[in-house]
A and B are shown apart, each in its own frame.
Chain A
Amino acid sequence: GQQLNQSPQSMFIQEGEDVSMNCTSSSIFNTWLWYKQDPGEGPVLLIALYKAGELTSNGRLTAQFGITRKDSFLNISASIPSDVGIYFCAGQLKTSYDKVIFGPGTSLSVIP
């Protein structure tokens, strides 16, 4: 079945550093979504991407929809302690029921 790969699996960075993570698949997606999940909470949508090549920002976060429609990346600039959490990518396949596939997540730790 379809599968999303996220890298890196985990990251430990110093406060103030920039962060980059990506999501890849062998399947073509119509939509890419990036979520952040804090411990004990549900995922919160950060950025949604709808067109190949689209580059979208949300504050210090920037995400891009890959030209091949098989990948996406998320960048976080000038990291702060509250950026700690698990970042999930999700791709929406073109099916009649809008099925969304989630990646395994990237765990981010920020060292003050």
Chain B
Amino acid sequence: ETGVTQTPRHLVMGMTNKKSLKCEQHLGHNAMYWYKQSAKKPLELMFVYNFKEQTENNSVPSRFSPECPNSSHLFLHLHTLQPEDSALYLCASSQVRLAGPSTDTQYFGPGTRLTVL
């Protein structure tokens, strides 16, 4: 399945490093999402972009900075992270309707396993 790709698949970084996660969707969707998945916790929605505009930021610390240059690409810039930020970061995309009942379904990438030392 190559609908949604994420790079890198694994990342180890120190607390003073700056790194970026990349997501690309090949499904022609107009919305993209960042989720955080920690052990034994439900998926946590971090950011939502509809038509390249950020529409949701679920109280995410400023050390996480999203960027959506176009409807196919989504980045998550990381800076001065903490060890508790270690998790699987998942990107998803969907096709959101402007009006009427929504049947939007999200498709996920394989994730980036992030370890903060």
Binding site for B on A (CB under 8 A): 4, 30-31, 33, 35, 40-45, 48, 50, 88, 90, 92, 94, 97-100, 102-105
Contacts and interface: CB of A to CB of B under 8 A. Distances in A.
Interface of B: 1, 4, 6, 31, 40-43, 45, 48, 50, 55-56, 88, 90, 92, 94, 96, 101-111, 113
A42 B102 contact: no
Given A97-B55, A98-B102, A40 B113 contact: yes
Nearest to B56: A97
Contacts of B108: 35, 42-45
Given A35-B108, A42-B90, A94-B102, 18 more contacts: A30-B101, A40-B110, A44-B1, A45-B105, A45-B106, A45-B107, A50-B103, A90-B106, A92-B102, A97-B50, A97-B96, A98-B96, A100-B45, A100-B104, A100-B106, A103-B42, A104-B41, A104-B42
